Structure 1
Amino acid sequence: MPAADENAEDANPYVRDPPTEFEPVDDLSAADAERDVELLRAAVREHDRRYYVENDPIVADRTYDALFARLQDLEDAFDLSHPDSPTRSVGGEPIDAFETVEHVAPMLSIDQSGEAADVREFDERVRRELRASEHADDLQYVCEPKFDGVSMEFVYEDGSLERAVTRGDGREGDDVTRNARTIGSVPQQLHGDYPEFLAVRGEVYMPKDAFQAHNRERIERGEEPFANPRNATAGTIRQLDPSIVADRPLEVFYFDVLEASDLEDSHSAELERFPKWGLRVTDHIEYADDIDEAIDYRDRMLELRDDLNYEIDGTVIKVDDREAREELGRTARHDRYAFAYKFPARAEVTPIVDVAVQVGRTGRLTPVALLEPVDVGGVTVSRASLHNPEEIAEKNVNVGDTVRVQRAGDVIPYVEEVVEKGSEGHYEFPEACPVCDSAVERDGPMAFCTGGLACDAQLRRSIEYYASDDGLDLEGLGEKSVRQLVDAELLESVADLYELEREELTDLEGWGETSAENLLSELEAAREPPLADFCSALGIPHVGPTTARELAREFATFEAFRETAETEPERLEGVDDVGETVAQQLHEFFASDKNAAAVDDLLEHVSPQEADTDAGGEELEELTFVFTGSLSDVTRGEAQETVEAHGANATGSVSGNTDYLVVGESPGQTKRDDAEANDVPIVDEDEFRELLAEYGIALE
């Protein structure tokens, strides 16, 4: 079990003062490559241990990167890959699902309370039950932080990581070994004199600074941020694609032995051995001879809580002696030798640790305060709106300030006031968009990115809006799928929707032949959209479905509408629902070179239909239709225009107010389910035509 000679520092040239320039791979023999791979693996593991466990790296980051890249090159060139290699930390191919496996030993929960009286009662019980034992007189507790992350089992055989399993129900969990291998503080191979078999319990977490940075990136990309570090960790560790896990900043603390071929007599002795094996432990472990010392430890950790770079929600008090633990036993739910003394929830007042700027669909920039998680009305909040630059200045709020957070209507958190100033001045709003670096323009209290559809954040939101109920109602293109398509670099513009191919879609996680075919059918049916729908789908500020319908009736063709907006915007003010502000927004939208280019690209794939400028009849007045799937002789847009021309409403989603769901070929299942749930009649194309004929209307 001791490390081989080549792992020793003095025998491994890649540990201290390693070279960063190497012989060409083609000049190496297979034997030389195999030898260097073993040395490089050992060296990288040693550098990982020093970085993650000892916090004492001996090489610069660039040097480490060079060694890691060399190892990867050699493994690829000579087919020397191995599951235990540090290079596995870069991820791998996605998997279809996780296998459920049984734990080596039960991973039980822990009894807990926030009251000191309950902690003392735990101590009294322990001493009472050990009274007849030799352990009663020398009882000692180990006090540790109670990490607020995701608990997991890590199993090592002959020092090699065999599997990593989520806690699950405490008896069995999901095998997430491939994901765990991507975490830098999870050693693939143990160091030193380790047991032949070792199962340890660890807590996977996202450091607070990394969590805030990751949330900032998500906000600036237009994605929904995580509520707190624990949610971020739980959502990450169960990703089916290990490369996603590798890109997210996870760490691990190890805190217990579940089973081992060589057990120590005490928990403290085990914890002392963990770093020698390469298993990272917290620096904040203390020992208590009585319960008062354990309570004092919790109070000191409460004061230290905000200074730690990881979330804790209390402390854990454990009996140290292993034989005493066995005597105390366990219930069906928790071990009787341990107790968690919880912290009170942070309430309403919390510090701002960062400010992110979110870019909306229209380019509006919204500042968001990233907070130390705080309880507001029973909900954990880690972000709050700062509304706009003017309000930031008025409240004199900045990073480092302690603020009071409230929730508007019990939904949207916002910063109410600064309670304690921890900074100088207020947050200075950026002069360039944080996503595309385009200039930021102010409009009264608001700020806007001038990048338009060329801005990635606006692009994502624009595609989502283009496909939404207020746009072309493209089923199967929600926030998650749009983000997936953009991240896969399949969409760099709205127009790219019409160039998607079946094989590209089915290669993505979660996409099958049916879902791919349904989306392509939706897109094909949307190549000749009603003019009003197309105008609304462009996402022009202040131009929703109602305004778009009025513009379509006024100008009949997209060309006439666009030309007027570009050259004679004052004429737009004569249209119902269009005033001076909307007319100016329309002019600025089409005058933008970036927007004009994006619209031109879109028009290469889409031909908006000419609108009927007649007021139409009222035969279908008060009826509401929803369409799904493709119709045979007319487009879905043409069918919508027909019913609207005769007084009906055509909406994008089914509700209790819907009168008919018209189903064509390759329909969306969601709308059918909603129709059945709301007792809405479902009609096919022939029945729809017959219905119109009853009112003297022909669908042509």
Structure 2
Amino acid sequence: MDVQNTILKLREELDQYNYNYYVLDEPTISDYEFDIKLKELQDLENTHPEYFDENSPTQRVGGAITKNFKTVPHEYRMYSLDNSYSKEDLIDWEKRVQKVLGEVPLEYTCELKYDGASISITYENGKLKKAVTRGDGFQGDDVTNNIKTIKSVPLRLKGNFPAKFDIRGEIILPFAGFEKMNQDLIEIGETPYSNPRNTASGSLKLQDSAEVAKRPLDCLLYFLIGNNLPFKSQFDGLVTARKWGFKVPKEAKLARNLEEVFEFIDYWDAHRHNLPYETDGVVVKVNNFQHQEELGYTAKSPRWAIAYKFKSEQVSTKLNSISYQVGRTGAITPVANLEAVQLAGTIVKRASLHNADQIEKLDIRVNDTVFVEKGGEIIPKIIAVDLSMRPENSEPTIYITHCPECESLLVRNEGEANHYCPNFYGCPPQIIGRIQHYISRKAMDIEGLGGETVALLFNNGLVHNYADLYELNVAQILPLERMAQKSAENLVNGVQNSKGIPFERVLYALGIRFVGETVAKKLAKHYKNIEALSLATLMDLILVDEIGERIAQSVIEFFDNEQNIIIVDRLKSYGVQFEIVEKSNPNATDKLSGKTFVVSGVFEKFSRDDLKKAIEDNGGKVGSSISAKTNYIVAGDNMGPAKLEKAGKLNIPIISEIEFMKLLE
């Protein structure tokens, strides 16, 4: 017997049986026959370990143990989607699209929005190479071993595929599998899981992949990204992905206009409850990839796609009490404590009341019967009061006047909806919240240190601000509750490793009010170091691209505070990065200094990203849209007609990539 050929033939057969059963839902062999063939393959692989293959069907049973999931960067960023809640929102979105593209014929791909855990899977030479969770969009956790156990995820592809690409999708738990898991838990006296989405997401982070293999997870795939993909539209991409062996839901439809999009939405709004898994809306994408390229991205989401969310489920329940939470900026958030009620697959006991104005507007009172819905299917909120059920002795809600944590008199700035506790450096939730923000993944990403541990450190007097973290040692941490030698060492090492985090993320981590990720990047890029930023005047800051007066004022206030300066100086002394580390580029020049370029179309000698990098490397600025400040438009094939028309009106020079290269000579 030729052992190697027998092994290869068995693998091929079992892959096809898996595909027929889990992707096509058309089994061509009995479970017993499948198990016999799988056992034969296992025996041959055990006897001949020289033919081991990490993508063999025998590896789907799991068994690999992952203690710490490695954080890895996404080669292509995973963006989130803008949400819409009405057809009017979609009409407005189409107008924005047409404003950029002009009156060109548009087609849309309509897909159901699956309620699961996002995943990005990399394939190289037709084999599953890596699977990474969404994380913060820039980086996520490597969960490859766990993803390989999901039977609908192909370990090797069929047909003619590119050498390398990523495919994005959603890991879900179908209702039938979820109910069986819960029934098994109930029978052994354990607490059942609350909803399929959270259970699917939690399954990806189980340390033992053999346990993941026992869970009936599924993977629905919907977007491919990479270089030189063999199709020119989203819908063709879905069709091609099916041919390669991916489970791409057949509900997706090509719509020739917005009316057909509305028909798709109306149909699935009525029929979504017949699906075997959760869906909370429809994703509408501009179909043509060239159009997608022209439209580009905002800081958070693609301009060429939008999610339409189905109307939220509503329930009524009793409001038992109102409590008040203090955030890291001192903002007070009133919270409704409710009689527990089932809503959209989860048990809801609390809901946000937002602020004093919202309480007054709805006249919300303790002991009222209230209507609750999930805003965007995520955060529960009270939308109305059932006045017919209001008790006779009901009293209007009087908003608190003092901080519930430190008793400071609350303030409310003119033009703002929130009340604030002004005790910035003495109010415990504010201090803990700022440190928790500092260590968060998008900020300093300190491994071994979580939100609960921060509270533990503060409550035991070990830290009073985020600079104190850098003076912690293992001996101080060991006596704390739930702290062993290894976890204490990991915490200290994680803090020390954070010294390598780049300046723009450190700036975000400082927690300056209104300075989010995008603003922090702009300020870091403009000022280069913390000293220059701290000395900037209000007018200097306002003149920075996209920095308004509110942000500028907040930055000024931060650096006017002596305690903040002391903390920043301490962080500097510990080695935290407070300046941009310029990557040396031997080809960089300042030939394009002071010039703004807009890039449009498809190019032969550059990719669009390479072209933009060349502009920035030579001192120029890349604009997202054409304006009177634009100096040149670098145009390739299929430049958008709307951009062409606007360039003509503003008399902006349009140059080819060859002419652009001459500018650099």
* TM-score of the aligned structures, taking structure 2 as reference length: 0.48
Q: Indicate the structure (1 or 2) with the bigger Cα radius of gyration.
A: 1
